[in-house]
Amino acid sequence: MADNLATALRRTHAWFESNGGWAPPDDETLAEWMSDGLCRCPDECLIPPAECCEHGLVSWWLVLRTLDRPDGATPLPPTLLIALPGRLDPRPASSYIAIMDAHHRALLAGDAGYVDPVSGLLALTARTLWNRRACCGRECRHCPFGPR
């Protein structure tokens, strides 16, 4: 599923290019959708947040969680911010959402990692791993050098 999410995320960004660009929901609207366990896609389909719609697009939640906004650094491509297939399964959705939200908060704060809300272990962010310039071989969840 996660490898499909990376493909769907690429498709979603291509969709932005040909369908009028970028108009994300505000934080309150996104929180309202998420409280219902569903989220809209850019094409208005209503889906679970960690899935893609029938048109192959991801939810606004996932689009926004895969934005890297570092101060003074080149942003990472969004697909590098999706956890690698086999290292974080989108099921159960509640765990996936909590982990991806924690990763996103760490990215925005410039933190090297975050405490995994499920296991309690430290997980390094994709940005931290990217800055190392090579894979360490420890199968890190957010490794930007792994198979994509």
Name the domain count of the chain. 1
In-domain check, residue 146: no
Evaluate whether residue 137 is within a structural domain: no
Query: Within a domain: residue 144?
Result: no
**What is the pLDDT, as a whole number, of residue 56?**
94
In a domain, 139, yes or no: no
Q: Which domain holds residue 67?
A: 2-131
Q: Could you tell me if residue 138 is inside a domain?
A: no
What pLDDT sits at residue 146? 72
pTM over 0.85, yes/no: yes
**Per-residue pLDDT, 2:** 52
Query: Who wins on pLDDT, 91 or 115?
Result: 115
> Looking at the domain assignment, is residue 147 inside a domain?
no
Q: For 29-88, write each residue's pLDDT tens digit.
A: 999 999 989 999 999 999 999 999 999 999 999 999 998 888 888 889 999 998 887 888
Q: Which residues are CB-neighbours of 58 under 8 A, at least 6 positions away?
A: 5, 8, 9, 12, 41, 51, 52
